[in-house]
Amino acid sequence: MAQFSNPVLPGSHPDPSVCRVGPDYYLVTSTFEYFPGLPLHHSRDLVHWRLLGHVLDRPSQLPLQGVPASGGLYAPTIRHHDGVFYVVCTLVHGNRESGNFVVTATDPAGPWSEPTWLPEADGFDPSLFFDDDGRAWWTATRLVRPPGETEVWLREFDPVSLSLVGDEHVVWRGALRDAVWPEAPHVYKVDGRYVLLTAEGGTDFEHSVVVATADHVTGPYRGSPLNPVLTHRHLGRDHPVAAAGHADLVCTQNGQWYAVLLATRPYGGYYYNLGRETFLVPVVWEAGGPVFSPGTGRVEESYDVPDLLPHPWPVPPQTDDFDAPELDLAWMFLRTPEEPFVSLTDRPGHLRLRVRPESVTEPVTPSIVVRRQQHRSFHASCALEFTAAGPAEAAGLVLLQNDEHHVRLLLGADREVTLVRRFGGKDEEIARTSVGEGVVRLCLEAVGQDVQALVAAGSEGWRLLGDPFDGRVLSTPVAGGFTGVHIGLYASSEGAPSESWADFDSFTYRGLE
């Protein structure tokens, strides 16, 4: 039988949530400080996914200005009821708005509504459950006391007024004694009983999935004696898949059950530069509870394909020539732009970035467009025309983990190219060289955790810039936070005023695995 490979969404796609409408499946994931927010993927076989758009794609919907690294959008849930799609989510550390909100749409491709904020909804990781009696319920997690004691609460939700009504019910405080971060609650109704699925143990190595059941939606919920029903923390840090948790369930039109969940793929030791990715595992029900990955009890790197008609989508091209009138959906900004700094029309066939004072070394919105790293070994390169008007101006490629941990390969004044690795907020210049006339090509390649930079100008071939260096500085266990690496096209004058611009003729990304 044909098999599929995990992850089904490689790269930084954490906290997945899924719903089915007829033969169509829709999935959203967290995006933290990146804009547009909450990518919405579409599938018809649960294996092949295409990026349909973003739930929050207008600046008015998503005020991310000033949000720190790994702040922003946490753990969305998507549900569909009576012809309406609902996405609920939490904006963390917002300077203009913060907290839980709901947006709606009748077409998942959009447009989605402006957020309705729910100041009465404490905590984070919200979810919706539509019962078969017509009532709807909101669940979420809130901190009881540091460093991670939480509780899951539930309250009725009015889908017309988009508000919480009625009494609040605390329904869960964790499966294990002294458990930290019981979170990510989702409620389902299976064979007449209510099933509460949550995460536990934090989002790293100790992550897990636990389950409880009840006769009434408001509880009391009794934990399964099999808890945790899924975890990899007992498999050791050398296992190829780690940190499995934060699951959401879906039943196919053929009656099969599956879970989407997050997990990581460490490499070069316990380091995962790609962040937390979306995996798919089969689920069966026994004694009223879900059994994840029956037969092995762990997230496998491959499974038999679901009993659905295969539906692959066209493979995106490896090179973006910037010939389209709008940016490809794979590109994102770092926080919400307050002014335009990207143009595809000023010079057709090129992406033009304004050189602005904002720097990628600060929690601001610099002139950068990024896309996810999706392979452990990869090639990323760009073709660039740029003339610096001052000593601080530079443009080129960035491997971005956060403002304190990243790699910059930039063309600057006097046609000098510098390679800088930033660790713990401090820059280390690795290499520098001058390039000749013509279009400059910059490349960052990784083979596992070994990263190298290459440069070329005009008709000359690639040449190595400096020695290969260790890429573990870009991994979450080193840099902290919740995101994976993003690869960016970038221009900055590092605090100085500027009227310059940088023209990128193309960008190429391909896996080397």
DSSP H helical segments within 28-160, as ranges? Answer: none
Domain 3-304 grouped into CATH 3.30.450.40: no
Name the one residue in this structure whose structure tokens are 């002014």: 339
CA distances from 185 to 10, 196, 247, 485 (A): 24, 7, 9, 27
Beta-bridge partners for 503: 352, 385
- Cα–Cα distance between 213 and 37 in angstroms, integer? 33
In the structure, what pLDDT confidence band is assigned to residue 197 with cuts at 50, 70 and 90?
Answer: very high
Domain boundaries, the chain: 3-304, 319-511
- Cα–Cα distance between 108 and 114 in angstroms, integer? 14
Q: Which residues of 297-329 are buried (b: 16+ CB within 10 A; e: fewer)?
A: ebbbeebeebebeebeeeeeeeebebeeeebeb
- Cα–Cα distance between 191 and 255 in angstroms, integer? 13
Q: Give residues with Cβ within 8 angstroms of 166, minimum separation 6.
A: 155, 156
Residue 1 scores a pLDDT above 90:
no
Instruction: Give the active site residues.
Output: 15, 183
Give the percent of the chain with pLDDT over 70: 100
CATH classification (class only), 319-511: mainly beta
Rg (CA), the chain: 23
CA distances from 277 to 212, 370, 479 (A): 25, 17, 17
Give the percent of the chain with pLDDT over 90: 99
Residue 240 scores a pLDDT above 90:
yes
3-state secondary structure of 344: coil
pLDDT at residue 76 in the model: 98
Q: What is the mean pLDDT of residues 477-502?
A: 98
Mean pLDDT of the chain: 98
Quick check: pTM over 0.95?
yes
Q: What is the mean pLDDT of residues 13-32?
A: 98
pLDDT at residue 382 in the model: 98
Q: What is the mean pLDDT of residues 423-434?
A: 98
Q: What is the 3-state secondary structure (H, E, C) of 366-407?
A: CEEEEEECCCCCEEEEEEEECCCCCCCCEEEEEEEEECCEEE
Tell me the two tokens of residue 79.
């549900």
Identical fold for domains 3-304 and 319-511, yes or no, is no
CA torsion sign for 119, 121, 127, 131 is negative
**pLDDT per position as a tens digit, 93-136:** 999 999 999 999 999 999 999 999 999 999 999 999 999 999 99
CA torsion sign for 430, 431, 437, 442 is negative
Residue among 438, 318, 439, 460 at smallest CA distance from 379: 318
In the structure, what pLDDT confidence band is assigned to residue 466 with cuts at 50, 70 and 90?
Answer: very high
Q: What is the mean pLDDT of residues 410-425?
A: 98
3-state secondary structure of 476: helix
Residue 513 scores a pLDDT above 90:
no
Q: What is the mean pLDDT of residues 293-301?
A: 98
Residue length, the chain? 513
**pLDDT per position as a tens digit, 5-18:** 999 999 999 999 99
Q: What is the mean pLDDT of residues 481-496?
A: 98
- Cα–Cα distance between 59 and 37 in angstroms, integer? 10
CA distances from 457 to 416, 417, 434, 466 (A): 11, 11, 10, 17
